[in-house]
Structure 1
Amino acid sequence: MHRYRFLLSRQWVILTLVAIALIPTMIELGFWQQHRYEQRTARNDLVSAALHAKPVPVEELTSPGHAVTRAEKYRTVTATGTFDTAAEVVVRRRTNADDRVGFHVLTPFVLDDGKVLLVNRGWVPANSTQTAYPKVPAPPAGRLTVTGRLMADETTAASGIKNLKDLPDRQIMLINSAEEARRLDAEVLGGYIQQTAPRAKGGSPQQLSDPGSEDAPLNYAYMIQWWLFAAAVPVGWWFLVRREVRDRAEAPAEPRPEENEPAAV
């Protein structure tokens, strides 16, 4: 076993400790990617089921004070009533498909029973300072039926967007039915909808696209990758050890001191 005494050297002790630490770390990273894969797969399944579900009247899924659930989110709903453009506001710092910064247009929609549904009609561009109220095309007048995707109330915790105060007139940061109920002094259905029909004339506001699926297969590939790395660490360590043993065995023996001294006369 003297051939392996080099493993007790400082360099090899450090290398071995690093290898030992890497194995459980990589295994844990693999499990983390597995959890991400499962979460994204479940989310994609929910979104797909919601997008393909039959449209239902909005009040079958939400009511004043209701918190929209994950299973209800993205469901297609319909509502009949009239737009209240006098109480319309815009939501700051929102981007379109081209990553241009602008506003989302949030218009209260008064239902036949007097309750209010918040309708995100889409995106409009901002002016240079984002302080002035933008030009917003008017929605259709009179009684009509709108269709849209049901969305949950926005919060700072979920979105990371700070709910700033003292904003310019008729501008908000987050779409939140409880806050809008206080502003409007009305019964507001929980959550809001992203309007999909009828489509705005002239293409503005730009209506928002359906949510895309999250890349779950990528997480699965990362999971396998981390576990392969974990398996490769001890194999690589043993390969280095064997090469060190071979190199030491093939190295010429160092001459003894007496062999280098001149012969006595």
Structure 2
Amino acid sequence: MYRFLLSRQWVILTLIGLALIPAMIELGFWQLHRHESRVAHNELITKSLTASPVPIGQLTGPGREPAADDHFRTVTATGRYDTEHEVVVRQRTGADQQSIGYFVLTPLIQRDGTAVLVNRGWIEAGGDLTEFPRVPRPPRGQVTVTGRIMADETSAASGIKDKPGLPPRQVMLINSRQQAEALGRSVLGGYLQLTATSPKPDTRQPERIPEPDHSSIGAHMAYAVQWWLFSAAVPVGWFVLVRREFRDRRDRFAKTAGAADAGHEAETPRTPAARGGAH
């Protein structure tokens, strides 16, 4: 009765089930790794944000990016803003994550002549995207800025394409190496995401960029458990289908055998004795 398992249909079904089990297990571990990565990332951000501020030169230098463990660390820098080489970063969202505009990227020239790229915040895009937007002026004179140190943006890491032929003073990525070429001076690796300025500006400034979310861990662990449950359900489902097919075939065989026996009895001639005897 189990010979049906050797049929083409059941062989294909069994092979699909055998392929799904390891695939689902692997997908579960992939989600688990994403969960662990998210937890580690949140712990890194929390540790960096709560650490005491340090001069930016302790964590980076010209042609040297901050280490991964130092990302989001609070740093300080002192110098004067270079508005001539100020650029805007296209297609960036504001705090509401919906409005499209620009990040304002202004070099801060330190006393030793090196530059620090400062992301001063977000401004809304105007009607003409081919022209340089109206940007609030930074504070004049010497200032001390405080902010989160960030790694250079790349297309590979961010998924943002670095489009050629952009309007003047507009860029797609915040990248210290690219800006070093435009500035013609040494630029510290990475950039500073502004959180405070001393002395305080007396004019309106770009909208500050909020802290990165370091509380949510997402549903990756739940997805991992789901995939593992699915992998366990495959052999259970296969067994249920096999038992159902077995019962259906057994019932059909019993009905066929019963019908054959009834037909055989109807075709058998009855003897005189069976008809009640002869008179």
SS in 2 for 1:124: strand
Separation of aligned partners in 2, 1:49 and 1:107: 27
SS in 1 for 2:68: coil
Report the equivalent of 1:105. Answer: 104
| 1:11 to partner: Cα distance | 2.4
Sequence identity (%): 54
Pair 1:214–1:223, CA change in 2 (3 A)? farther
Report the equivalent of 2:225. Answer: 224
Report the equivalent of 2:132. Answer: 133
Separation of aligned partners in 1, 2:138 and 2:130: 23
Pair 1:74–1:10, CA change in 2 (3 A)? same
Separation of aligned partners in 2, 1:159 and 1:88: 22
Report the equivalent of 2:162. Answer: 163
2:15 to 17, 31, 50: 17
Separation of aligned partners in 2, 1:93 and 1:37: 29
Q: Verify the 8 A CA contact 2:138 2:205 in the aligned structure 1.
A: no
Once the two structures are superposed, the pairs formed by residues 243-254 of structure 1 within 5 Å of their partners are 243-251=244-252, 252-254=254-256
What is the total number of aligned residue pairs between the two structures? 263
| 1:166 to partner: Cα distance | 2.6
| 1:112 to partner: Cα distance | 2.3
| 1:117 to partner: Cα distance | 0.7
Separation of aligned partners in 2, 1:103 and 1:201: 22
Separation of aligned partners in 2, 1:215 and 1:232: 30
Pair 1:202–1:140, CA change in 2 (3 A)? closer
Separation of aligned partners in 2, 1:85 and 1:177: 16
Question: Structure 1: any 5+ residue segments left out of the alignment?
Answer: none
SS in 2 for 1:253: helix
TM-score, reference length from structure 1: 0.91
Separation of aligned partners in 2, 1:262 and 1:246: 29
1:259 and 2:257 matched: no
| 1:178 to partner: Cα distance | 1.3
Pair 1:202–1:257, CA change in 2 (3 A)? farther
Deviation larger for 27-36 or 211-220: 211-220
Residue-by-residue CA offset, 1:36-65 (whole Å, 9 max, x unaligned): 122222222211111111111111111111
| 1:188 to partner: Cα distance | 1.0
Report the equivalent of 1:81. Answer: 79
| 1:77 to partner: Cα distance | 0.4
Separation of aligned partners in 1, 2:235 and 2:216: 31
1:209 and 2:213 matched: no
Partner amino acid, structure 2, of 1:112? R
| 1:26 to partner: Cα distance | 0.8
Partner amino acid, structure 2, of 1:150? I
SS in 1 for 2:70: coil
Partner amino acid, structure 2, of 1:220? M
Residue-by-residue CA offset, 1:202-249 (whole Å, 9 max, x unaligned): 764111111113754521111111111111111111122222223333
| 1:250 to partner: Cα distance | 3.7
Residue-by-residue CA offset, 1:153-182 (whole Å, 9 max, x unaligned): 111221222222332121112111111111
Partner amino acid, structure 2, of 1:259? G
Partner amino acid, structure 2, of 1:105? V
Separation of aligned partners in 2, 1:260 and 1:202: 106
Report the equivalent of 2:59. Answer: 61
Separation of aligned partners in 2, 1:202 and 1:222: 48
Partner amino acid, structure 2, of 1:116? A
Residue-by-residue CA offset, 1:57-100 (whole Å, 9 max, x unaligned): 11111111112221111101011111111221111111113322
Q: Verify the 8 A CA contact 1:46 1:70 in the aligned structure 2.
A: no
1:91 to 89, 92, 103: 89
Pair 1:43–1:25, CA change in 2 (3 A)? same
Separation of aligned partners in 1, 2:25 and 2:143: 57
Partner amino acid, structure 1, of 2:235? P
Partner amino acid, structure 1, of 2:263? E
Larger Rg: 2
